Structure 1
């Protein structure tokens, strides 16, 4: 289905539509288990090519979060001086708040057959280049954050140099990203059970004889600041999936239950992230060496140590395959006419030098800085696309969305971009990272309120501007 632009009811063929299958179409999977390479890009998935049930959203969002990145992130609350119970409350609340927008956005995939960044064109128009580029860069950054542990674990397991372990992991995840949607879904289904069992074994072993912190060193305002920062870090993890959300539901039939899609996604993200971060909180006192060698040592080496390292490698593959897949869609969204499989391979390739950079100096500090910085743009993005979608839904009054009509109807795109950029700018004083602590965050004893400030700023700015326009 070609979606040409129109002006005064006249098609202008010289301007190719953002979803044109001539540029971004290709072979689609036909049923569960079809593992041939998906060359289909950002063009809408036709209704007669949809398949699957909403239950697969639980596994596709559960397995990729069972990584050591989540475990080591979970140690932050205790490191900031919180006791176990207080830190756990912050983790649970932050995870749920961040997972809810992702679950909501994911319901758009079945209704449109389109991925998340391509759908953002409805709000941003040509300005989608900015969030699209940020999403592409973020997918590469997440490749490095996850691949750091996966490559280190494989190198330790096989006795290889670090760079070779990273290279093999990046190559394997890139291959999965190239295969595409169905291969990722099938992998996550299998890995949900395998990795869940592996992390149960790891949890029993790693926490044997370890007692969580009953009291923390932080008190008063410092304790409140530590709570907010722990909440924000947990929120950043689950919200980081929001720009990917409908990428992994776009092949579901249009009549798929939206409540079931929402709850399967919410549970998949929340249960997995809370589980791994709780493990990090519980064992914070023994997770002093945040490397694969540290994991092997804690497990006592031998077969159990090898088992733990293998679990870390597989978890990295699960997560980064999704990063590469969504990165390829983001690259097409900003107008780069690379076939989707090539875009996925490119994301994996570019993640390799970033891993080497993170590993070259203070790995822990660089890891935490990249983790926070890659997500500050997302709250403003979520606010803009949600308001735009709500305005269109109100105008349709329950009628199905017509992407062809929406693409042909020209509207000013500057309000979305202005709200998006302003949201980030206003949030800067509220940021708290190892690279930069804003004056407000410093006054609040390190509390990072940037995510909430960015979301509310975009909401307040964009809503009146959007409502002034025709739907």
Structure 2
């Protein structure tokens, strides 16, 4: 920061401020008041644009085609799962203006300084590699369908744009999402109207039952709550005086409406027959008139870029939140490039079987996010009752601070979840293997167990 000379009262001049075309230099350190800017309204499109894309469509598709639900059953599971994930997104966003740090740094309250390395590292891999790969594949298939360009060069073109936006940083990300939002919303709403006109809403899967419902719920919740570990990454530049109600409302509404509407359109599209050899994107656009199909393919590409701008940015931020002292300092912008390259490699490897890979990935997200979220929400509730913001903020940088109950509750929640795993290609847990009608109850059990266990252990440890 540029500060006034000693003994003067000249104002502080922000170095980054609200400049859009400037590479952000901040990593995981607190954002000074002089750098704070913006309003909660920007969180509406920042959390809406990344979900108006094909990965969201595919939640509805797999609910009908893979999980065996009818359209209305799938819609109920999608709406319920998305609503819960969006609600916690809004609540967590409040800590951005409050502490001025990324979500993974705030995790130090829950897990201690060193204990927080585990969830931060996991989120860095999930965001910067896993999600980056998933969305890049859908964009590559869309570009391949639109232009006839082969999948690999299509993939490379897409990832360059995604990495560039994340490299520039926070303000450019918000601005990109703002202008992408109306384009994506109009195109997908047009596609939705056309899809519902041709859909068989009384059809869809058969025999999904409660097991299929829980699988679809877990996938929808995992998709929405999968953004929770990024929540304050995009609200931390807001002024401390930002309206609290709006800081909760706008990210929750943006996330819920975009995911619910687009995923339900996907469920409707799954009731329309498509050629067996069609790529996922071609199957979704096959029933649309040519002009609208081309527009949707463009929107799929734009939506994937919107999502991956956040994924690669937050993936890098999560790595900086590890707080490790390395011989060579790796800046946020450098880590964006490194994460993007790793995510590109993962996307390349999954081009041949994107559908199955995405289904498994969605459920794996829910497996770790649920226990993490249970601990974080309990800690957030108790924290607000036991210490001032100034006292808590000092603890974020204290390398000696430990909180073993949080880490223990997280690990136990994940461990107990293993026998409940379902619908994975290489492993199915004991419970769904013997009682398949229960579907996948992993997120619910993991959340409740870790939250309850942490509350008890925290009280006992003082």
TM, length-normalised to structure 2? 0.89
Corresponding residue number in structure 1 for 2:377: 386
Corresponding residue number in structure 2 for 1:365: 356
Corresponding residue number in structure 2 for 1:333: 321
459-468 or 277-286, larger mean C-alpha shift:
459-468
Match of 1:292 among 275, 281, 301: 281
User: Matches of 2:430 and 2:211 in 1, distance apart?
Assistant: 14
Q: CA deviation at 1:29?
A: 3.4
2:198 counterpart SS class: coil
Corresponding residue number in structure 2 for 1:8: none
Structure 2 stretches lacking a partner, 5+ long: 2-13
Corresponding residue number in structure 1 for 2:258: 272
1:440 aligns with 2:440: no
55-64 or 120-129, larger mean C-alpha shift:
120-129
2:20–2:175 Cα contact (<8 Å) kept: no
User: Matches of 2:139 and 2:168 in 1, distance apart?
Assistant: 20
2:86–2:252 Cα contact (<8 Å) kept: yes
Q: CA deviation at 1:261?
A: 1.1
2:25 counterpart SS class: coil
2:106–2:396 Cα contact (<8 Å) kept: no
Corresponding residue number in structure 2 for 1:85: 72
1:206–1:299 Cα contact (<8 Å) kept: yes
Match of 2:406 among 410, 416, 420: 416
User: Matches of 1:215 and 1:63 in 2, distance apart?
Assistant: 28
Q: 1:208 to 1:115 in 2, by over 3 A?
A: same
Match of 1:107 among 91, 94, 97: 94
User: Matches of 1:320 and 1:142 in 2, distance apart?
Assistant: 7
Deviations 1:88-138 (A, max 9, x none): 111111111122222211111110000000111222220111111110110
2:218–2:366 Cα contact (<8 Å) kept: no
Q: CA deviation at 1:52?
A: 0.9
User: Matches of 1:28 and 1:174 in 2, distance apart?
Assistant: 23
Corresponding residue number in structure 2 for 1:13: none
2:437 counterpart SS class: coil
Structure 1 stretches lacking a partner, 5+ long: 2-26
1:247-266 aligned within 5 A: 247-266=233-252
1:77–1:87 Cα contact (<8 Å) kept: yes
Q: CA deviation at 1:204?
A: 2.7
1:181-200 aligned within 5 A: 181-200=170-189
1:312 aligns with 2:300: yes
1:58–1:268 Cα contact (<8 Å) kept: yes
Corresponding residue number in structure 2 for 1:236: 222
Corresponding residue number in structure 2 for 1:52: 38
Match of 1:342 among 334, 337, 340: 334
Instruction: State how many pairs are aligned.
Output: 438
340-349 or 266-275, larger mean C-alpha shift:
340-349
Q: CA deviation at 1:156?
A: 2.9
1:144–1:354 Cα contact (<8 Å) kept: yes
1:133 aligns with 2:121: yes
Q: CA deviation at 1:469?
A: 4.3
86-95 or 197-206, larger mean C-alpha shift:
197-206
Corresponding residue number in structure 1 for 2:10: none
User: Matches of 1:424 and 1:193 in 2, distance apart?
Assistant: 39
1:461 aligns with 2:447: no
1:153–1:309 Cα contact (<8 Å) kept: yes
Deviations 1:426-449 (A, max 9, x none): 111122123232122231425111
TM, length-normalised to structure 1? 0.88
Deviations 1:32-82 (A, max 9, x none): x52211121001001222111111111100010011111121022322332
Corresponding residue number in structure 2 for 1:431: 421
1:118-267 aligned within 5 A: 118-124=105-111, 125-139=113-127, 140-214=129-203, 217-218=206-207, 222-267=208-253
2:57–2:264 Cα contact (<8 Å) kept: yes
Q: 1:287 to 1:387 in 2, by over 3 A?
A: farther
Q: 1:217 to 1:52 in 2, by over 3 A?
A: same
